[in-house]
Amino acid sequence: MILQIYLIYMKKIVPLILLAFLCIYYGCKKDQVLDCNQYSNDFTVDSTKISRKVIIIGIDGFRSDAMQQSICPFMYNLSLNNNVYYTPNHIVEGDTYSGPNWSSLLTGVHYDKHSVTDNSFVGSDYTQYPPFFNYIEKISSNINTASIVNWTPINEFTLPNSVDYAPQESINDSIVFEEVKELLINSNPLSPDILFIHFDELDATGHTYGFSPFIEEYKSTLNRIDSYVNGIFNIIENKRLDGEDWICFIVSDHGGVGTSHGDANNPKVNKTIFYAQHPTVEFKANYTSNQTDLAATILNFLGISNPEFDCKTDGISIIE
């Protein structure tokens, strides 16, 4: 008899209690989003900062311990500079696919909110959690935004309604570099104020030969990407001499071990590099960034404040 009552309890009551908790949890989450949305038009803009410029260089599959002088001398030296933010311990999403991580970098929320859980992008909620570009475009459509990517799902799924120029045809890393030069030097087809770039061949090399600073192919691919980054920084330095006020980021989605990045518990996978540089801005010291901090940092740098974003984001600005 007691056993029977116990079984009825287990079969009927426990699922009901669980269901009640789930309803409360998801109900609250939905209410939170609606609460945030009431602020969608409350923007404050710092007129001394809104004309600043931003470049984000994304390098897919950058394992932190490959940041070495002999492999990528330009970026290695950048990381040693004073007055920059650099960490090899940047925390990636608990879900270590590329899709969730690039989505968190671009939206400023963790994957439980933007709901991208793999590279299919099925179920994504960019309507409630839009990329940071949307907040910028909402303030001024005169700000030119562009995204040049090797891995096209970013422009197909994450940014198609967010960025002025986001071509979707598949291009390799050397063409990414050429197109970035066309934009920055020749303003073709526009002169970008906010530019996102994505190099994918380090990840592809990792999947084929192994993600490791001891694998020749991984090292030589990173060395080649380092020369693209060097070229891009030289262009930005010239623009600074012309009086333009640029901040530069180097970011990645995950590390890797063996030929995969599926082991979310392995620090060679769940940590990667994160770098920010500006001639005068001071960055937080002794802070370990995560994927949701990029968006907040960019809006802060541009002097854009919006309680809807503040209400939704999981990140903080790394600017002091």
Q: In the bound complex, what is the minimum distance in angstroms from residue 221's beta carbon to Zn ion? A: 13
Cα 202 to chain centroid, rounded: 17
DSSP state of 4: H
Residues between 242 and 281 with contacts to Zn ion, criterion CB under 5 A: none
Q: From 70-78, 152-160, 196-204, 220-228, give the range in contact with Zn ion by CB under 5 A.
A: 196-204
Q: From 1-9, 199-207, 268-276, 301-309, give the range in contact with Zn ion by CB under 5 A.
A: 199-207
**296 and 108 Cβ atoms separated by less than 8 Å:** yes
Residue 173 makes contact with Zn ion by CB under 5 A: no
CA distances from 210 to 61, 65, 218, 227, 316 (A): 11, 14, 7, 21, 33
Q: In the bound complex, what is the minimum distance in angstroms from residue 295's beta carbon to Zn ion? A: 22
Q: Which residues of 54-86 are buried (b: 16+ CB within 10 A; e: fewer)?
A: bbbbbbbbbbbebbeeebbebbeebbeeeeebb
Any idea how long the chain is? 320
| Residue type at position 214 | F
Q: In the bound complex, what is the minimum distance in angstroms from residue 133's beta carbon to Zn ion? A: 24
Q: From 21-29, 100-108, 140-148, 195-203, give the range in contact with Zn ion by CB under 5 A.
A: 195-203
Q: Which residue is nearest to Zn ion (CB)?
A: 203
Q: From 28-36, 124-132, 187-195, 203-211, give the range in contact with Zn ion by CB under 5 A.
A: 203-211
Q: Which CB atom, from 173 or from 193, has the smaller least distance to Zn ion?
A: 173
Please list the helix, strand and coil fractions of the chain in percent, rounded to the nearest 5, in that order: 45, 15, 40
Q: Which CB atom, from 96 or from 134, has the smaller least distance to Zn ion?
A: 96
> In 10 A of CB 97, how many CB atoms?
20
DSSP string, 69-114: TTT-HHHHHHHHSTTEEEEEEEEPPSS-SHHHHHHHHHHSS-HHHH
Q: Which CB atom, from 99 or from 315, has the smaller least distance to Zn ion?
A: 99
Reply yes or no: is the peptide bond before residue 189 cis, omega within 30 of 0.
yes
Q: Which CB atom, from 120 or from 161, has the smaller least distance to Zn ion?
A: 120
The SS3 of residue 206 is helix
Q: Which CB atom, from 261 or from 278, has the smaller least distance to Zn ion?
A: 261
Q: In the bound complex, what is the minimum distance in angstroms from residue 61's beta carbon to Zn ion? A: 5
Q: Which CB atom, from 96 or from 306, has the smaller least distance to Zn ion?
A: 96
Q: In the bound complex, what is the minimum distance in angstroms from residue 89's beta carbon to Zn ion? A: 20
Sign of CA dihedral 229, 232, 236, 237: positive
Q: Which CB atom, from 193 or from 203, has the smaller least distance to Zn ion?
A: 203
Q: Which CB atom, from 130 or from 255, has the smaller least distance to Zn ion?
A: 255
Tokens of 114: 């933007």
Binds Zn ion by CB under 5 A, chosen from 137, 203, 226, 308: 203
Give the Cα separation of 17 and 308 in Å (integer).
33
Q: From 180-188, 202-210, 273-281, 302-310, give the range in contact with Zn ion by CB under 5 A.
A: 202-210
Q: In the bound complex, what is the minimum distance in angstroms from residue 95's beta carbon to Zn ion? A: 13
Q: In the bound complex, what is the minimum distance in angstroms from residue 74's beta carbon to Zn ion? A: 24
Sign of CA dihedral 260, 264, 269, 275: positive
Q: In the bound complex, what is the minimum distance in angstroms from residue 203's beta carbon to Zn ion? A: 4
**260 and 298 Cβ atoms separated by less than 8 Å:** no
Total of chain residues touching Zn ion, rule CB under 5 A:
1
Q: Which CB atom, from 258 or from 303, has the smaller least distance to Zn ion?
A: 258
Q: Which residues bind Zn ion (CB under 5 A)?
A: 203
